[in-house]
Chains A and B, each alone.
Chain A
Amino acid sequence: EVQLVESGGGLVKPGRSLRLSCLASGFRFGDYGMSWFRQAPGKGLEWVAFIRSKTFTGTTDYAASVKDRFTISRDDSKSFAYLQMNSLKTEDTAVYYCSRAVRYSSGRSVVYYFDYWGQGTLVTVSS
């Protein structure tokens, strides 16, 4: 059974840092891309960051709202994905979810969709 379990959320002051972790089980973690999403209070889902599998370069992408502040990484030996969040702002307050990315070819393009998600960890940025 595929499972994703996030941890590391909490209350933090603006300008501080926090690292979220996502422990994966039930599949070959290194074969998949991973992503982080978030949901602010009363809002919808928003994509945050993505990391490809090392087979497909292991490179990363970020939403404009978090670029240069957040860093996604992975440890395939331990089946963890991480989200390092620096210079946190009040607008980063949200439940953060990790998700597994499924890669496939669509015509001449490569696309990824997200099939399994964790239950989320709450990050509150407030003074």
Chain B
Amino acid sequence: EIVMTQSPATLSVSPGERATLSCRASQSVSTNLAWYQHKPGQAPRLLIYGASTRATGIPPRFSGSGSGTEFTLTISSLQSEDFAVYYCQQYNVWPPWTFGQGTKVDVK
């Protein structure tokens, strides 16, 4: 099973600032890596797949990069609606599909 590790656990950011979230895989997942945004009581929302491709309807302030074992999600200028928990998920080796433990982005 591939273990995904996200850092930091919590990121405190002011609106308008840049946020950088990291995700590391215990072995290479190529570019088979997705990022999700999750707010309480809502459906998880796919932001990025293929490590860097934005999903349908995702604004360009969200960008993903990386390959192999190291990945980054960048939110270029945080909006109020972006405060949420973000998860990375690998889908290169399955089952199981595995997630990181999440990074909570909150208001500084």
Q: Which of B83-108 contact A (CB under 8 A)?
A: 87, 89, 91-92, 94-102
Chain A, residue nearest B98 (CB): A47
Q: Does A29 contact B (CB under 8 A)?
A: no
Interface size on A, residues (CB 8 A): 28
* Bound-complex Cα distance A112 to B95 (A): 10
Chain B, residue nearest A61 (CB): B95
Q: Does B16 contact A (CB under 8 A)?
A: no
Interface size on B, residues (CB 8 A): 27
Please give the residue numbers on chain B whose beta carbons come within 8 Å of chain A beta carbons, in ascending order: 30, 32, 34, 36, 38, 41-46, 49, 55-56, 87, 89, 91-92, 94-102
Please give the residue numbers on chain A whose beta carbons come within 8 Å of chain B beta carbons, in ascending order: 4, 35, 37, 44-47, 50, 61-64, 97, 99, 102, 106-107, 109, 111-120
Provide 22 A-B residue pairs closer than 8 Å at the C-beta atoms, listed in order of the A residue: A37-B44, A44-B99, A44-B100, A45-B38, A46-B99, A47-B95, A47-B96, A47-B98, A62-B95, A97-B43, A97-B44, A102-B49, A106-B30, A106-B32, A106-B92, A111-B91, A111-B94, A113-B32, A113-B49, A113-B91, A114-B91, A114-B97
